[in-house]
Amino acid sequence: MSTLVNVPKNGGLTRTRNNGSDYLPTWSSWIDDLLNRDLPSVFSQNFNTGMSLPKVNIKETADAYAVEMAVPGLKKSDFQIDLDNQVLSISTEVEEQNEVKEENYTRREFGYSSFKRSFTLPETVDDGNIKATYNEGILSIHLPKKEEAKQKPPRNIKIS
């Protein structure tokens, strides 16, 4: 969950003046403090997706763009990479089921996690030659530039 403003624990964005220099927190900041202190796991985590969005590094060279995403613990087959109308989408859905049967009980656990990251590619990307690899928890996507968009080396022009 994104945080736009950090609210101090001992008050809020607004305070009420009471008899000179004493300050009391407002009702809304008291509720915010109560919820943030007593229910941190519910309000400070992205509980809709079951997985936080992975960090992405994007690097541009003279002839390509490189996208690296840290996603350890997954398999190559867990990823779905799509290109639609210059939008590159990387997503995954992982479903886990675990069942343990003992003499007196059965314990069954299941979980689901997913994420999706999308990037609008520049027109200079040669979308027919995009390649992706997954090695040791790092998803790497190589986005080559079109020949006319590649940076040309400097050259000397002779005067005639």
Q: Tell me the pLDDT tens digit for each residue of 25-57.
A: 566 565 666 555 544 444 444 444 455 788 899
Give me the domain span that covers residue 104.
Answer: 56-149
Residue 129 CB contacts under 8 Å (≥ 6 apart), including other chains: 144
β-strand partners of 67? 58, 141
Going by the DSSP 8-state scheme, the letter that residue 62 receives in this structure is: S
Kindly report the pTM of this predicted structure: 0.58
Same domain, residue pair 41 and 82: no
Nearest to 90 by CA among 38, 139, 150: 139
Per residue in 2-31, pLDDT (tens digit) is: 334 444 454 444 444 445 445 555 665 656
One domain, residues 66 and 134 = yes
Judging by beta carbons within 10 Å of its beta carbon (0-12, 13-18, 19+), is residue 54 exposed, middle or buried?
A: middle
d(CA 94, CA 114): 6
Pair 37, 5 in one domain = yes
